[in-house]
């Protein structure tokens, strides 16, 4: 299974990336964020062989080809959201990073016929925030 996670450098997206890298059913994670992965993810997963990192704003064009370079996507988990206007950034940047980004992501999902779609509200309801130790399984399943 190939999973595309947006907002992968954030709190929820980072935890999900970590959890799914340890899942034997997951072949590849394509993780997208505005920020580079260095110093954002734990060192042990920064160079994980299942992880493909894409640094992009979802509101821009170009990320779609980089994501599809890994082949068809089985599931999308959307965790990217700018909660504050960035320092020195205009309101238009926040709109692009949230509203335009969501529109582009929906277009991507529908165009590529990705059947499994989750957002961070669904994940919170699925109790993904259980303790993440190597001997404990999470209650969340993508299928």
The answer to whether the CB of 89 falls within 8 A of the CB of 17 is: no
Global confidence as pTM:
0.78
The pLDDT tens digits for 53-90 are 999 999 999 999 999 999 999 999 999 887 766 666 67
The answer to whether the CB of 76 falls within 8 A of the CB of 123 is: no
Does the pLDDT of residue 142 top 70, yes or no?
no
Percent of the chain with pLDDT over 90: 38
The pLDDT tens digits for 81-129 are 877 666 666 778 778 888 889 899 989 998 998 876 655 444 443 333 3
Residue 77's nearest CA partner among 67, 86, 92 is 67
């Amino acid at each position: 299974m190939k999973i595309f996670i947006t907002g992968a450098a954030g709190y929820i997206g980072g935890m999900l990336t970590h959890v799914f890298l340890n899942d034997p059913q997951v072949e590849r994670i394509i993780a997208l964020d505005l920020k580079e992965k260095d110093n954002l993810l734990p060192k042990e997963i920064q160079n994980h062989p299942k992880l493909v990192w894409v640094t992009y704003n979802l509101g821009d064009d170009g990320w779609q080809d980089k994501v599809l370079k890994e082949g068809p996507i089985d599931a999308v988990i959307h965790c990217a959201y700018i909660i504050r206007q960035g320092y020195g950034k205009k309101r238009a940047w926040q709109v692009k990073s949230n509203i335009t980004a969501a529109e582009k992501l929906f277009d991507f999902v529908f165009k590529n016929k990705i059947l499994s779609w989750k957002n961070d509200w669904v994940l919170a309801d699925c109790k993904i925030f259980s303790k993440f130790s190597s001997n404990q399984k999470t209650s969340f399943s993508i299928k």
